[in-house]
Amino acid sequence: MRVLVAGAAGSLGRVVTVGLADLGHEIVGLDLVPGPEGSPFAWHEADCADADAVAAVFADERIDAVVHLAGAPEELSLPDELTSHVVTTAALLDAMVAHDVTRIVYASSNHAVGRTPRTDGELTEQALPRPDTYYGVAKVAAEALLHLFADRHGIDAVVCRIGSFLEEPTSLRGLSTWLSHPDGVRMVEAGLTAPAPGFAILHGISANTRAWWDLEPGRRLGYEPQDDAEVFADRIEPGPDDAAEAEFVGGPFATAQFHRPAIG
């Protein structure tokens, strides 16, 4: 499969491009920055928020599927978040429809439901949107846009609500929300190859003993995580913010200040 990876230079993108290539996929990278020196992948340096630039990439390349990892990973102003996550998604979807590309895997976030209070039960894919920040709002809007294109254009769209994508967990919360690098690749591969998923949501975490989210939606799509954050539990020191970070599924984002531009 020839896969366009948008946001290929990001932390998740760098792992996914190599992992998918190792699985036999042909990668086309797309990012704001040049490709890594010595990269074996075709590469386009462009802004995913620029619809014309995205259309040009699709015109130049034969694309079978899209993995959309582009977007700022931190809290910005609401206009900036909407541009970074929603406008980019629209540009990719419009190009997909124009070129008969019908599969997209989207890196959403646990922050789309981040203000959901923590309970003893696992959060399912049926949880209503409950964003914790402008970043979370933008992820909810991007998910809605993907659902629209699934309904109106028959796009197969797999939304991955990612937890904490790190080499290893660094906090008590991370023992519940961790997504390992190898499981990140397995997650995207499942999203690319699941038969006719339509619009589907999975929780992007590893097989953590203390998981806060239900892994069954991912397993139905073929995502079988292999790693467990519990192997790092003895390295995690208790922290003063542990209780607060466990109050809502979004952790520290759920109580962070919004980014508002200065006036005057």
- Any idea which residues carry the catalytic annotation? 135
Q: Which of 170, 159, 172, 167 is nearest to 227 (CA)?
A: 167
Q: Is the dihedral of CA 31, 37, 41, 42 positive or negative?
A: positive
**Token pair recorded at residue 2:** 């020839």
Phi/psi of residue 207, each to 5°? Answer: -80, 60
Residue 171 region by backbone torsions, left for phi larger than 0, else alpha for psi between -120 and 50, else beta: beta
In sequence order, the β-bridge partners of residue 194 are none
Any alpha helices (H) in the chain, and if so which ranges? 11-22, 51-60, 78-82, 88-98, 134-153, 174-177, 181-193, 216-220, 242-245
Number of neighbours of residue 97 by Cβ within 10 angstroms: 15
In which residue are the tokens 């995502």 written?
223
Cβ neighbours of 8 (radius 10 Å): 27
Which phi and psi angles does 91 have, rounded to 5°? Answer: -60, -45
**R_g of the chain computed on alpha carbons:** 18
